[in-house]
Amino acid sequence: MKLSAYQAADKSEIQQLFSKTFADSEGQSEGELIGGLVLDLMTETDAKDIFGFVATENQKIIGGIFFTRLSFDAPAEAFLLSPVAVHTDHQGKKVGQQLINFGLAQLKKKGVQLVFTYGDPDFYARVGFEVISEDLAKAPLELTHPEGWLCQSLDGGEMGPLPGISRCVKAFDKPAYW
């Protein structure tokens, strides 16, 4: 398995991976929703505000992740990890964990201090994320499941409160994702 930054030429294959993976696990409408989100992220987000990584095997993309800028009133170099997809046939083989760890290492090299995500606390704990309160850092929109608001410090520092509001990239600025 090879881990690398995504290439613009692979947009269609990446969108299909996310659509199929989420349709397989959550139903067709969720697959369409997340597939649309991924396409929006890849086509509408400024290059400085997005990092995407893929796992390939035999020249086929089997996993993908995206990190997009999360801005706070307080100065902090922060990104949001979402979404994450691993092809159904490759789940349970730690592809997602390896891909996330690879992505986090790349962001750390670029000086990113904090990475947030919104998801399953048990899964993301395996790659160093911890549940945080919105008292520490407010999510960009109202959270349906506040227990899924997670963060990881990449600079080794203790995360202090980030006062004020946060802002996500345009593609995520929809209540359906939160």
Q: What is the pLDDT along the chain (178 residues), one digit of tens a residue?
A: 999 999 999 999 999 999 999 999 999 999 999 999 999 999 999 999 999 999 999 999 999 999 999 999 988 899 999 999 999 999 999 999 999 999 999 999 999 999 999 999 999 999 999 999 999 999 999 999 999 999 999 998 888 899 889 999 999 999 999 9
| φ, ψ (nearest 5 deg) of residue 22 | -70, -35
Domain ranges of the chain: 2-177
Buried b (16+ CB within 10 A) or exposed e, 4-38: eebeeebeeebbebbbebbbbeeeeebbebbbebb
Fold of 2-177: Aminopeptidase (3.40.630)
Reduce the DSSP state of residue 173 to 3 states and report it: coil
Predicted structure pTM score: 0.95
Say how far apart CA 118 and CA 52 lie, in whole Å.
17
State the burial class of residue 91 (Cβ atoms within 10 Å of its Cβ: 0-12, 13-18, 19+). middle
